[in-house]
Amino acid sequence: MQTRLSFAPSAGVLRRLRADVRKLAVGLGADARIGDQLAVVVDELVNNAIEHGVVYRKHGVDLAVQVSTDQGGLKVEFYDPEMPAESVAELGRALAAAANGMPSLENERGRGLFLLSVYLQNVQAGPAAEGGLCLAGRIALQ
């Protein structure tokens, strides 16, 4: 089973989106703690897309989160259709670096990616089939 939530690239959607993904996680068999983790992950992804997307976002195309069950866990996919290919590649490299540990507190970038690596397993960023970004990872239910 999978569910896809689409929403405007606007901070005004975050409160409702966090509630929706919590409810979605529980509906897919997760406990409240996993729902909270999913809400933190989605909040971080959407905040980053809004903040960093201001330089490339031209058409206000909806962002999306897709959640599905995946062998004892939840697979989470985040889509930003307007992210340029070079930014997608840069994000993939940054995710690989974040997996090596928390960045310096003086570093303005990387803490959000490190946070994602704490909550998500097998985090990967690459081009989406329809263009833009697809960032995917997995949250274990145990």
Residues in contact with 96: Cβ distance below 8 Å, sequence separation at least 6, in sequence order: none
The reported pLDDT for the residue numbered 74 is: 95
What pLDDT score does 22 carry?
A: 96
Beta carbons within 8 Å of 136's beta carbon, 6+ residues apart = 75, 76, 77, 78, 122, 123, 124, 125
Classify strands 133-140 and 121-127 as parallel, antiparallel or unpaired. Answer: antiparallel
pLDDT at 113: 80
Question: Over the chain (142 residues), what is each successive 10-residue block's mean pLDDT?
Answer: 90 96 94 95 94 92 95 94 95 78 56 82 94 96 80
SS3 120: coil
- What are the residue ranges of helices labelled H in the chain? 14-27, 32-53, 85-98, 111-119
- Note if the pTM is more than 0.85: yes
Phi, psi of 14 (to 5 degrees): -65, -45
pLDDT at 71: 87
63 vs 119: CA distance, rounded Å: 21
Check residue 142 and give its pLDDT. Answer: 73
